[in-house]
Amino acid sequence: MKNKIVVCDFDGTITELDSLFVFLVHYADKKWLEVERLWREGKIGSQECLTKQFDLVPKLSDKMIDEFISSVKLDPYFKQFNEIRLKNDVDLLIVSDGLDYFINRILQKNGVHNIKIISNHAEIVDGKFKITYPNKYVGCKGKAGTCKCKVINDLKQNYKEIFYVGDGNSDMCVADKVDYLFAKSNLLSYCNRVSINCIGYTNFSEVIKYDRLGFNF
């Protein structure tokens, strides 16, 4: 059993903004907002939400998609964090209920490598997104495309300590299931509201310096 692993959300955590949200704002039919409302009210799961929202995205050219990916900015300290954790031989896993198509291309564009990713899968077919869910779990309470609780429970079989970094609604289900939680934005508000211990942060410079990670620089 290994000592520790860092698990990170992607959109709004590794990226400065929620890139999927920004993408839908720019390219989806405005009906996607109604689907979003149904999800936030708990009337549909995130898998159904994502499928319906991307059904509302019209055919896009490669140029349009490339321009969007080039516009996405990472947390200014994430690349440094990744380099330091590699130097310290600490495992890192990105767990996202977003799309690997965006995650892989955004990381590659920013020169970030050697990270395992668990997420929903997307391909472009005739200019349209085709989404599949290789990490869905029938027991997922949130009916997510990628069940983060299942991922965390599986990791507990192989790691003594799990450090989690997140920001939003999709991270709330694992907030009380990890050993150390870094939270900001909606996740931080949620933890404060329901009295879950967490470490408030604004960017990865604070994660790098956290003493219990024990990084050598």
pTM: 0.96
For residue 200, give the 3-state DSSP assignment. strand
pLDDT tens-digit series, residues 18-71: 999 999 999 999 999 999 999 999 999 999 999 999 999 999 999 999 999 999
Integer Cα distance of 122 and 102 in angstroms: 8
Contacts of 89 (CB under 8 A, 6+ apart): none
61-to-6, 64, 126, 174 alpha-carbon distances in Å? 36, 5, 9, 37
The per-residue pLDDT of the chain, averaged, comes to: 96
Integer Cα distance of 119 and 46 in angstroms: 13
DSSP letter for 18, please: -
The answer to whether the CB of 9 falls within 8 A of the CB of 95 is yes
> Is pLDDT of 104 > 90?
yes
Q: How confident is the model at residue 182 (pLDDT cuts 50, 70, 90)?
A: very high
Q: How confident is the model at residue 89 (pLDDT cuts 50, 70, 90)?
A: very high
Percent of the chain with pLDDT over 90: 98
Q: How confident is the model at residue 8 (pLDDT cuts 50, 70, 90)?
A: very high
CATH dotted code for 2-210? 3.40.50.1000
Give me the residue spans of the domains in the chain: 2-210
pLDDT tens-digit series, residues 154-178: 999 999 999 999 999 999 999 999 9
CB atoms within 10 A of CB 72: 19
State residue 217's pLDDT score.
83
| Mean pLDDT calculated for residue range 90-108 | 97
> Is pLDDT of 141 > 90?
no
